[in-house]
Amino acid sequence: MTDTPIVSVRDLRVYYGTVRGSVRAVDGVSLDIGAGEVVGLVGESGCGKSTFGRGILGLLPEGAASNGEVIYGGRNLVGMSPKDLRRLRGPDLGLVFQEPMTRLNPLMRIEDHFKETLEQHESNLTDREIRRRSLETLGRMGIPPTRFRQYPHEFSGGMRQRIMIALALVLRPKLLVADEPTTSLDVIVEAQILAILADLRETFGTALLLITHNLGIVAEACDRVAVMYAGKIVEEGPARDVFIEPAHPYTKALLSSTISLDTEELHSIAGAPPNLIAPPLGCRFHSRCPDAMVVCGWKDPVELQLGEGRRTACWLHGPAEEIPPGETAPLERTELAVAEEA
């Protein structure tokens, strides 16, 4: 791992157009990912994690708009022409999709998937070189050459996920966005996928953005963790530090809702994430936060540095000079108000 960012995201915003208005799926997010670094992106469903990952790669659906900066190789990917982005995707920027069965063409053999991918980006390769590169990459995933000419339906869910990873890695990208790579897999296969991702960093120095709900995976596999809520990053820091001493109430709530061998009582976060068409004023977590103060209900929190590599956006940490007098009192809300804000 190095201190040099492979990609530097600054104030990225991604909005989806709907008949009811613009959904602010990613709303001013900044994040650096260093060479050979694994960064975990966590948060509830609907908080913008997958949109952020795809926004980095410019893989947004029709009707979506983005602005801000995604600096890679000294160039801003936001606003780059589709043709130039296609040149970067694969050899430089890779993506592992969440559902491999919906991404692999059921009418194509695995061999043809690899051939299509390599011919698209490295047209000078011979058939023999394509086969060698493909089998070499699949071998790293633990898939034998005898399976090369089979169809996707002939593989288990874990093997299909490994094929998806291999398809992303065959072009040797410098940054890989892995969107829920272990969803719906049993713990044995999950451990195998984590071992493969760790090997990527060791062998190729690949930088990895790991999008997941599984905090256990983040604790095991990630150098840093960014916690996302309602389109914004509310806390970021070294994974160990964040897990030992979370700074934001939302991070604390996520950690308390996990289950371990020592769990005696189940915990959950009351309410639901806010409507991103019309987000609430102030801190977007305030309607669900047990520590909310009056200021949280109307004024956006100021992002603070808590130490080397750590930041959070929460009024509990100040700055005191930005909080109007008398507004550190607990925020009183009726059950109806909480429901309306959620």
pLDDT range class, residue 1, cuts 50, 70, 90? low
DSSP 294-319: GGGGTSPPPEEEEETTEEEE-GGG--
pLDDT range class, residue 182, cuts 50, 70, 90? confident
pLDDT in tens, 19-54: 999 999 999 999 999 999 999 999 999 999 999 999
Q: Percentage of residues in the chain with pLDDT exceeding 90? A: 63
Q: Percentage of residues in the chain with pLDDT exceeding 70? A: 95
Fill in the DSSP letter of residue 274. Answer: P
How far apart are the two ends of the chain, measured CA to CA in Å? 40
Q: Which helix (H) or strand (E) holds 255?
A: helix 249-256
Global pTM exceeds 0.85: yes
Half-sphere exposure of 308 (CA within 13 A, CB side): 1
Given this model, what pLDDT does residue 339 score?
Answer: 44
Rounded CA gap, 82 and 94, in Å? Answer: 16
pLDDT range class, residue 232, cuts 50, 70, 90? very high
Q: Using the predicted structure, report yes or no on whether residue 82 has a pLDDT greater than 60.
A: yes
156 SS3 class: coil
CB atoms inside a 10 Å sphere around CB 12: 22
Rounded CA gap, 38 and 181, in Å? Answer: 14
Q: What are the residue boundaries of the structural domains of the chain, listed by start?
A: 5-232, 261-341
pLDDT in tens, 94-141: 998 877 667 899 999 999 999 999 998 888 999 999 999 999 999 988
CATH class of 5-232: alpha beta
Average confidence (pLDDT) over 209-218: 90
Given this model, what pLDDT does residue 206 score?
Answer: 87
Q: Using the predicted structure, report yes or no on whether residue 202 has a pLDDT greater than 50.
A: yes
Average pLDDT, the chain: 89
The two beta strands, 75-76 and 303-307, are unpaired
Fill in the DSSP letter of residue 86. Answer: H
Dihedral sign (CA 142, 191, 237, 302): positive
pLDDT range class, residue 249, cuts 50, 70, 90? very high
State the burial class of residue 300 (Cβ atoms within 10 Å of its Cβ: 0-12, 13-18, 19+). middle
Dihedral sign (CA 181, 182, 185, 188): positive
Q: Please check whether residue 77 is in contact with residue 29, taking contact to mean a CB–CB distance below 8 angstroms.
A: no
State the burial class of residue 48 (Cβ atoms within 10 Å of its Cβ: 0-12, 13-18, 19+). buried
